[in-house]
Amino acid sequence: MKMLALIAALAAATAGVSCGNESATEKPSAAAEPAPPPAPSEPTTSPAGTKQTWIYFTKNHHKGTAPGQYNTDCVGIVGTERIGARTGTTTATGTKIMWHVKVNNGGNDDDKCESLNMSDVNLRFKTDVMGAAAMKKLTANPGGVIEGTVSSDPMDVGSLIAHKYQVYIGDTPAGPDPVIIVNCGTCGPPPQ
């Protein structure tokens, strides 16, 4: 009987030590746990009279010339499918749009397109929405920014509301065709 009481006392003492001593329990090390994904960057507000969007270039895993394919090493997707903008007036310019070229998918570097030369990226417009002088084409600077201002000339914009454009690398289409929506009710305030 004394032996049974001694075993019970030792068992209780051992349980008390492991409950009070956190290091006694096995925990995986912090290095073994996967790192959480990085938080998305904080949204920014564009200055008045401007709009910004991003073009994400990733590796083209289905290169070709068939419908729905692009014959480029990278595919560019514009983050804003429909950008709302305003035409200019006689006293103010139209909405300035800035496209920022990125060589990742926006959230991480999976399928990153490292071979892209930023200066080869350009946008081709179906209309003169960016002004006749732009000749329906805007090209990225070496830092990967494309800038354009919606035309103030009614002849450039015409009666169309939706103005299609497409992402190119050099002279080859490299992504689907997003749209600039001009002078819609929700396109933002008119130029000042």
In the chain, domain spans = 50-182
Q: What's the whole-number mean pLDDT along residues 36-55? A: 73
Q: What's the whole-number mean pLDDT along residues 46-75? A: 93
Q: Diameter of the chain by CA atoms? A: 106
Inform me whether the pLDDT recorded for 21 exceeds 50: no
Most confident of 14-23, 44-53, 150-159: 150-159
User: 50-182 maps to which CATH number?
Assistant: 2.60.40
| pLDDT reported for residue 23 | 46
CB 53 within 8 A of CB 100: yes
CA 122 to CA 172: how far, in whole Å? 10
Inform me whether the pLDDT recorded for 3 exceeds 50: no
Q: What's the whole-number mean pLDDT along residues 7-25? A: 47
Inform me whether the pLDDT recorded for 18 exceeds 70: no
Residue pLDDT, tens place only, 141-185: 999 999 999 998 888 998 889 999 999 999 999 999 999 999 988
| pLDDT reported for residue 16 | 47
What's the chain's Rg over C-alpha atoms?
29
Mean pLDDT, rounded, of the chain: 82
| pLDDT reported for residue 43 | 62
CA 163 to CA 160: how far, in whole Å? 7
Burial of 188 (0-12, 13-18, 19+ CB in 10 A): middle
| pLDDT reported for residue 6 | 40
pTM of the predicted protein model? 0.75
Residue pLDDT, tens place only, 109-137: 999 999 999 999 999 999 999 999 899 99
CA 30 to CA 163: how far, in whole Å? 52
| pLDDT reported for residue 39 | 46
